[in-house]
């Protein structure tokens, strides 16, 4: 029986890369882990068999993918009864501007309000500018947004901003929270 369940959504793959990193870190530390893209979670999956659940997704147009929100809403009742964690992947968090940082935190807090789910641990990770996978128009839109934020503008390549030490810390902190919670049950 796996101990951790990770459910994620991704558009261009960076969230999935973060999920795979967390999966490896948990496995290295002796935990069993099941991972599902939210599009492929088996309908009859029994969440109660897990010790803890992590969900993660990218911020796209100021919010998380609807399919991720729906999955959380469909399972809020069970998620509330167990140790859970959430992570957001975005680019706004790279900006030093306090207002923009607050906006990124508010996107997460609004997600929690909307789903009535308040995980014990949550974090926001910088994602990636995956220019080479965007359409012609999207490349230009993303470059223009990035230019305004004094970010990277070479549309012939991709830029990864994720701090893997930060992701490792999230994984370690949460596995500790989950272990402590099951010991006190």
Ligand X SMILES: Cc1cc2nc3c(=O)[nH]c(=O)nc-3n(C[C@H](O)[C@H](O)[C@H](O)COP(=O)(O)O)c2cc1C
Q: Is 163 exposed, middle or buried (0-12, 13-18, 19+ CB in 10 A)?
A: exposed
Can residue 19 be called a binding residue for ligand X (CB under 6 A)? no
41 three-state secondary structure = coil
The residue within the footprint of ligand X, chosen from 10, 115, 123, 171 (CB under 6 A), is 10
The residue within the footprint of ligand X, chosen from 19, 64, 72, 92 (CB under 6 A), is 92
Region of 40-48, 57-65, 75-83, 175-183 interacting with ligand X (CB under 6 A): 57-65
Reading the block at residue 62, the tokens are 């100021």
Residues between 127 and 166 with contacts to ligand X, criterion CB under 6 A: 127-128, 130
Region of 22-30, 60-68, 78-86, 176-184 interacting with ligand X (CB under 6 A): 60-68
> How far apart are CB 179 and ligand X at their closest, in Å?
28
Contacts 24+ apart (CB under 8 A), 165-168: 166/123, 166/125, 167/18, 167/21, 167/22, 167/25, 167/125, 168/21, 168/25
The residue within the footprint of ligand X, chosen from 4, 7, 15, 50 (CB under 6 A), is 15
Which residues have a Cβ under 8 Å from the Cβ of 173 and sit 6 or more positions away? 121
Reading the block at residue 105, the tokens are 């935190």
Can residue 123 be called a binding residue for ligand X (CB under 6 A)? no
Q: Which residues bind ligand X (CB under 6 A)?
A: 10-15, 58-62, 89-92, 104, 127-128, 130
């Amino acid at each position: 029986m796996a101990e951790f369940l990770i459910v994620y959504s991704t558009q261009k793959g960076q969230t999935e890369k973060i999920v795979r990193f967390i999966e490896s870190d948990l496995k290295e530390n002796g935990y069993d882990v099941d991972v599902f893209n939210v599009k492929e979670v088996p309908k009859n999956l029994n969440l109660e068999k897990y010790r803890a659940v992590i969900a993660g997704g990218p911020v796209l147009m100021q919010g998380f993918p609807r399919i991720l929100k729906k999955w959380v809403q469909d399972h809020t009742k069970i998620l509330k009864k167990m140790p859970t964690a959430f992570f957001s992947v975005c680019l706004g968090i790279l900006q030093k501007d306090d207002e923009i940082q607050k906006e990124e935190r508010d996107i997460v807090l609004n997600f929690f309000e909307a789903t009535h789910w308040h995980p014990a641990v949550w974090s926001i990770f910088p994602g990636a500018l995956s220019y080479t996978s965007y359409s012609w128009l999207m490349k230009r839109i993303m470059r223009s947004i990035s230019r305004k934020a004094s970010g990277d503008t070479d549309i012939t390549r991709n830029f990864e901003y994720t701090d893997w030490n930060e992701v490792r810390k999230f994984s370690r902190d949460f596995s500790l929270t989950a272990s402590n919670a099951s010991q006190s049950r």
